[in-house]
Amino acid sequence: MKIVFHEMNNKKTVHHVFELDCSFDMKVLHQLIDDQLDSQQNISSSESYEEFHDEAQKLHEAISNHDLSKLTLKYFNFDIIEKTLDEALTELGYEVIKADASSSLYVTGVRGKVIRISDHKMPVPSSGYSIMIDYEYDYEVISESRLIKAIDLEKLGLKLDQDYYLA
């Protein structure tokens, strides 16, 4: 089982996927919750902050116990998913290569195409000049939130059974 934590960052939602069975993922998730708590220290009323803090503690406990089913949250948002986009694509027989330094996926085996799926454009390596431009792939899906819609993948020849996936 995986947890998808929805983080509000500069008025944009970013989706983070964490594996419940991975101790490193759980450490990062707990830290992300604490970071969210720290960023809310200037909430206008002390009552709201106490509520926010109590909810964070309940969330920490539920994550540690691997029991998120009964948790009702007001300030934090998360979903539980069975598989990520790369797992779904691999299951369907596509070759998926994960980038080492980013969250980008490269899918091969789609009518001779390489499809890039990422949360950012790929910058062109610097050639010593100060001009930086983004490299354009012929086939790519870019989603800053990491929420990938199946309809966008279908346009590139990838057929999946869910409406959206998290990369």
Domain residue ranges in the chain:
2-81, 85-166
In degrees rounded to 5, what are phi and psi of residue 57? Answer: -65, -40
Of 107, 98, 166, 97, the closest CA to residue 140 belongs to 107
> How many alpha carbons lie under 13 Å from residue 104 in its C-beta half-sphere?
16
Cβ(13)–Cβ(6) below 8 Å: yes
Question: One digit per residue, pLDDT tens: the chain, 167 residues?
Answer: 788 888 877 777 888 888 888 999 999 999 999 988 887 765 666 667 788 889 899 999 988 888 877 667 888 888 888 888 889 999 988 998 888 877 889 898 777 888 888 888 776 666 666 555 556 677 888 888 888 888 898 888 888 888 777 77
Q: What is the pTM of this model?
A: 0.69
Cβ(3)–Cβ(17) below 8 Å: yes
Of 8, 64, 87, the closest CA to residue 40 belongs to 8
